[in-house]
Amino acid sequence: MTHPGKQRTVLLAVREGHVDPRLLTSARSLCNRLEADLEIQVIAGSETLPAEIEAFLDTLRAAGLPFSLEVKPSLRRRDLVDYANAHEHIAALVIDSREGWEALALDRSSDPWKRLACPLVTAAVQDKKHA
């Protein structure tokens, strides 16, 4: 099932251990506002999805929101940017935070997020120490 008219997709990248309800809610709300499908890429060490993702998929099914899901063992920020830029139907990329994607960047002056052709939405919870 897809939305009528021109296909638009929100790309949600979820890292195992960084699943926050606000991240999932932000992606779903953005899909509703843009009348877009949801493409979910989960970065996990196994094929078993985190419980929060399973529950989120149930809510998507109940709401009739079109989505696709892919589980990957790893995914770099550069990979996300290249993928989103190569697919013009990607209307936005939703992630938890711009930080912590690679343990060590080969070129520290390089910031792939700057090359992203669509809006980048971050939905990280503020660090309680700084609140």
Looking at residue 116, its pLDDT comes to 94
Looking at residue 5, its pLDDT comes to 52
Whether pLDDT at 14 is above 90: yes
Could you tell me if residue 19 is inside a domain? Answer: yes
Could you tell me if residue 4 is inside a domain? Answer: no
Could you tell me if residue 105 is inside a domain? Answer: yes
- When mean pLDDT is compared across 33-37, 45-49, 92-96, 115-119, the lowest value belongs to 45-49
Could you tell me if residue 115 is inside a domain? Answer: yes
Looking at residue 129, its pLDDT comes to 42
Could you tell me if residue 2 is inside a domain? Answer: no
Q: How many angstroms separate the Cα of 10 from the Cα of each of 52, 97, 104, 128?
A: 19, 16, 27, 29
Q: Over range 61-81, report the average pLDDT.
A: 92
Q: Which domain holds residue 121?
A: 9-130
Q: What is the CATH number of the domain that holds 23?
A: 3.40.50.620
Could you tell me if residue 1 is inside a domain? Answer: no
The pTM for the full model equals: 0.85
Whether pLDDT at 128 is above 50: no
Residue given tokens 């997020």 in the structure block: 113
Could you tell me if residue 3 is inside a domain? Answer: no
Domain count, the chain: 1
Could you tell me if residue 37 is inside a domain? Answer: yes
Whether pLDDT at 109 is above 90: no
